């Protein structure tokens, strides 16, 4: 007997838990604003019907309506799609059409069509459901490396060039602007190699 009571109670509690996780897209009157929710059950889109004459039948269905969709979040959406569903006075679904937008900025509204709609009644209520709300990828700000320090332009002397002075087979190294002292005969002579100006 305990199992018979426990199993239905367990199933009912699972149903309530599943319903609590689903966003509550309420049906709105045709002149009202329908709200679609994001994955966190927060309002994401608002929709208003732009097409006012919606008298469809099985023989002559309405095949397209215009909807104004507004982004009520602070997110920039790069792609938005969803369903607009219509219900007759008995709350029976009598048509649905897919809408999509390529971009929708925060607090921006855009007018869209619902191609593929086959509305076979004169609806009294409608709702919208967001199926795709793709946000722009966050730009990860990479720190910009500082520019290399500007060094003062200082003229550096050219690197020393080595020369050899050969006097009677005796070789003496000498550098530019560095004197060399040689003994020539009985006297010391100072020799300096300089560049030509």
**What's the confidence (pLDDT) of residue 142?**
56
Name every residue whose Cβ is closer than 8 Å to that of residue 124 and which is 6 or more positions away in sequence.
29, 30, 87, 88, 89
44-81: pLDDT as tens digits: 999 999 988 888 888 888 888 999 999 999 989 999 99
What is the C-alpha to C-alpha distance for residues 85 and 28, in angstroms, rounded to an integer? 11
Domain boundaries along the sequence of the chain? 24-135, 162-191
Lowest-confidence pick of 30-34, 65-69, 121-125, 165-169? 165-169
pTM: 0.57
Q: What is the CATH number of domain 24-135?
A: 2.60.40
**What's the confidence (pLDDT) of residue 69?**
94
What is the C-alpha to C-alpha distance for residues 100 and 41, in angstroms, rounded to an integer? 20
80-107: pLDDT as tens digits: 999 999 999 898 999 899 999 988 999 9
């Amino acid at each position: 007997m305990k199992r018979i009571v426990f199993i239905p109670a367990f199933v009912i509690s699972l149903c309530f838990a599943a319903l609590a996780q689903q966003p509550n897209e309420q049906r709105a009157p045709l002149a009202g604003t329908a709200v679609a929710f994001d994955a966190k059950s927060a309002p994401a889109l608002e929709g208003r019907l732009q097409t006012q004459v919606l008298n469809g039948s099985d023989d002559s269905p309405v095949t397209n309506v215009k909807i104004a969709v507004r982004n009520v979040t602070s997110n920039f959406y790069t792609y938005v799609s969803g369903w607009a569903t219509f219900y007759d006075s008995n709350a029976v679904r009598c048509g649905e059409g897919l809408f999509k937008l390529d971009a929708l900025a925060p607090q921006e509204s855009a007018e869209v069509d619902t191609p593929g709609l086959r509305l076979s009644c004169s609806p009294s209520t409608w709702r919208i459901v967001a199926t795709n709300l793709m946000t722009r990828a966050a730009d990860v700000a990479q720190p910009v490396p500082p520019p290399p320090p500007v060094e003062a332009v200082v003229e550096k002397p050219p690197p020393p060039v080595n020369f050899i002075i050969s006097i009677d087979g005796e070789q003496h190294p000498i550098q530019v602007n560095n004197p060399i002292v040689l003994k020539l005969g009985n006297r010391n002579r100072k020799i300096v190699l300089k560049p030509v100006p």
